[in-house]
Amino acid sequence: MDIKYSLKATIAVFERQLLIFWRKRVYFFLSLLLPAFFIFGIGPAVQSLTSQGVTTSYIASGIICFSIIFSAMQGPLALLYDKDIGYLNIELVSPIPRFSIILGQSLAGSFRAILQCIIMYSISIIASVNFSYNPINILGFLFVAILTAIFVEGLFSGVLAIAKNAESFSMITNFIGLPFIFMSNTFLPLSAFKNSAFFWIEYAGYFNPVNYSLNGIRYFLMGYCPGFESFGPLIGPVSILIIGILATLFTITGTYFFLRSVKK
């Protein structure tokens, strides 16, 4: 396999997705309005929950992670649209490596994640959210965001093997993605479920990949992870390691199942 040629093919797919993104940039900025509204409006609302470790920084970091995941969930839709208009067939019969299609798509999703995180971080700072200004911490935060986007894009690229149209894909992604988000510490610490009928969520949270994305983001933006203080400074590297492994694993499996489905 010619690595140089494969790299050029991946970059070509990446550039095409960026062009599509640029032409539809209004949808991207509109998608930031709701998270921005919550970041600016959550200050007074969370004051009564500070005893449980819920602060403005806690909620803002959760909203940022939620936005990254939700945006990445919709990324593979571009492959379905390409399939509907026949462009995907052109890519499949071209001499480019087929994994370059998924990899280029994932890189485009990572670019969107970086841009989205920079804007959301800026909005949070304007809203007086207590986030770190350290450039190293900001780079660490962006790195976690990239790995999260690649992981989610890879996961739902595999879902394309099941979904036959955009409606089915949206239903499946919501069925899988939303429980992962709302059964995590995105908006409330897992300890909040301890004395409820859903006490098991606290223990299931250790197997929820969203929590590790959140832990990495909060470690770099806040300096600690509420509910995971016992892990100390190890929580950041451990979160990066776990999300990195998941990103690699699901990119490979997502590519395999997607390419297997289009051969049929």
The percentage of residues in the chain with a pLDDT greater than 90, rounded to a whole number, is 5
* pLDDT at residue 211, as a whole number: 87
pLDDT at 256: 82
DSSP-H helix ranges across 1-97: 3-23, 25-30, 33-41, 56-74, 77-85, 87-93
> What's the rounded mean pLDDT across residues 26-47?
67
Question: Angle, to 10 degrees, between the axis of helix 33-41 and the axis of helix 99-126?
Answer: 30
**How far apart, in Å, are the Cα atoms of 11 and each of 8, 14, 118, 158, 211?**
5, 5, 23, 21, 31
Amino acid at 18: L
**Residue with the larger pLDDT of the pair 31 and 221:** 221
Higher pLDDT, 157 or 147: 147
| pTM reported for the whole predicted model | 0.83
Identify which of 152, 120, 146 has the alpha carbon closest to the alpha carbon of residue 38.
120
Range of 89's domain?
Answer: 3-262
Considering its fold, how many domains does the chain have in total?
A: 1
Angle between helices 135-159 and 56-74 (to 10 degrees): 40
Q: What is the distance between the alpha carbons of residues 104 and 10, in angstroms, rounded to a whole number?
A: 5
pLDDT in tens, 109-150: 788 888 888 888 888 888 878 888 889 989 999 999 989 988
Greater pLDDT, 74 or 147: 147
CA 142 to chain centre: 11
Per the listing, tokens 């986030």 go with 131
